Chain A
């Protein structure tokens, strides 16, 4: 029996900007079950971080969130006030950010900052919190953990700081961790280590993980399910197998053509970046958001809202007017080229 940790229906976020209303997230649906990893992928600016922050209710004050449903552990949290949300944050719901270099407070030791995360939510002594911190620092692969507690953030490298951030998110054993591009700021060699670490810990503690990234190589390795995001919307969702074996939305197909395949892609060959730029999210949008960059665009694409279609049985959906037979044909052609 699967335990549903998070259920989101028609989540939207509007941000007031000088030029008008920026519709950063436009009615997305998704859910996360216990022990599952959901990857959200998409280009820069498509609304991934705003989605993550809206779940934590840490949006900038210029943003407003609406949803039909926002349930964590079966409880509707939309109307939670700041106090109730603060009780959830760091306890049931934790977040790891993109910028390890600046996400820790320079004025306090990492021990202090780790312990604080537990002291806030659990009725434990400081030494119990310290033991938990040491245990988790060892878990995230930091040697000499007890000695590290007295160190300040500036004494640690970016990779180590991100490990500390991961340990911090685990202090209270949350049900769900949201990791927003946790490795983008790190060296390539360290990126893989950190991501594998996250995936291992997720399995070991049987947590749910929402991993936000634009690195499809990572998604292929760790995702149970994938949501492809474009200009504030999800354009394709499904299990990792479904999306990778049978990408059905022209945008997903384009993205997957972007990953270099070992042996197939010539060294130095131009990667198939999708031509064109992301449309502005300010104001109302009509028709398919991807239309301005899609090579299959037709008149019907520009009218009304494009509905989801089923690509494969079992929850594999894409938002496009092309039938699944047509999209399969396009995919074959692209692969042959």
Chain B
């Protein structure tokens, strides 16, 4: 188990380093950063001053290492626009996005796992078809469109929920649904497929041959095994959702990281964008690592050798 953990951890660190390198190169993606910073009316001298001031004149590898070293200490530099530290802005916005993500994934799991289980118990039944319909709609519908539809009905037509802002829990209902709904089809189909396979397995027959009642058979013996791939998928989807939060937060004007990313793109605030990409990526990598650990914990074939 320890060996497995270390191996996974090693992979995670390597991936994180690669991502950091890519994120760093973002500065040079849009041309010379010093020229971009200096603005249109700047002279050659201004540009070279800026280059010196920000350290863009050093060899790139040194710049990267320096940037990485600071980033590791939580120092992402100054925002070009907000005139405050990037780390400060990010950690102010991060909790909102995490809260939204947690609400969305909870909504998705609470909806999709029971539906997947029910669909597997009675394949081709009414409930199975209902679940399939939800999945198809979820896969086909763009999330921004779904978000706008929710807004129209619940916010404007029926006036049940606030349309924008992030001041109260009610503000999170629609964004969480819009964001989570997108994850639902995958998780539900995987739960259904996993349950169908497990329910047909020999050890379920053994459990029934022992005289176990339907509930223990279903939850103790079947779900425990069917849920393994779902855990991995949910972790991956949670990561994707944080990316998707850029759209949803912008639509609902939720003051989170996604909204900040949108604002920073408009202001060409590179250090902030860089830091957001890095933070979200590292978070995603950490999630994948955690899901591997959780899987190992749930599956004794990995945990005990």
Chain A contacts to B: CB under 8 angstroms: 56, 58, 82-83, 86-91, 94-95, 97, 99, 102-109, 116-117, 120-121, 151-152, 154-155, 165, 168
Contacts and interface: CB of A to CB of B under 8 A. Distances in A.
Given A107-B300, A152-B300, A152-B304, A102 B203 contact: yes
A105 B218 CA distance: 13
A334 B221 CA distance: 53
Contacts of A56: 209
A116 B212 CA distance: 9
Given A106-B300, A106-B301, A90 B203 contact: no
B208 A58 contact: yes
A28 to B, nearest CB: 21
Contacts of A121: 211
A292 B200 CA distance: 35
Contacts of B211: 86-91, 117, 120-121
B300 A95 contact: no
A151 B301 CA distance: 11
A163 to B, nearest CB: 14
A105 B225 contact: yes
A56 B207 CA distance: 12
A165 B220 CA distance: 19
Contacts of B202: 97, 99, 102-103
A176 B221 CA distance: 25
Nearest to B301: A154
Nearest to A95: B209
Counting chain B CB atoms within 10 Å of each CB, the highest count among A95, A103, A154 belongs to A103
A56 B220 CA distance: 21
B206 A105 contact: yes
Of B208, B220, B224, B299, chain A has the most CB atoms within 10 Å of the CB of B208
A140 B220 CA distance: 27
Interface of B: 201-203, 205-214, 220-221, 224-225, 298-301, 304-305
Given A106-B225, A106-B300, A89 B208 contact: yes
B304 A90 contact: no
Given A97-B206, A109-B300, 14 more contacts: A56-B209, A58-B209, A86-B211, A89-B209, A95-B209, A102-B201, A103-B205, A104-B206, A106-B203, A107-B225, A107-B300, A152-B304, A154-B300, A165-B206
A116 B298 CA distance: 19
Given A103-B202, A152-B300, A90 B210 contact: yes
B96 to A, nearest CB: 37
A89 B298 CA distance: 29
B206 to A, nearest CB: 5
15 contacts: A95-B209, A97-B205, A99-B202, A102-B201, A106-B299, A106-B301, A107-B225, A107-B298, A107-B300, A109-B300, A120-B210, A120-B212, A121-B211, A155-B304, A155-B305
A89 B216 CA distance: 15
A91 B211 CA distance: 7
Contacts of B220: 108
A103 B206 contact: yes
Contacts of A95: 209
Contacts of B209: 56, 58, 89-90, 94-95, 97
A117 B203 CA distance: 13
B300 A58 contact: no
B295 to A, nearest CB: 12
Contacts of B298: 107
Contact of B203 (A82, A88, A89, A105): A105
A92 B208 CA distance: 14
A65 B256 CA distance: 62
A86 B221 contact: no
B203 A103 contact: yes
B210 A105 contact: no
A241 to B, nearest CB: 32
A94 B209 CA distance: 7
Nearest to A83: B213
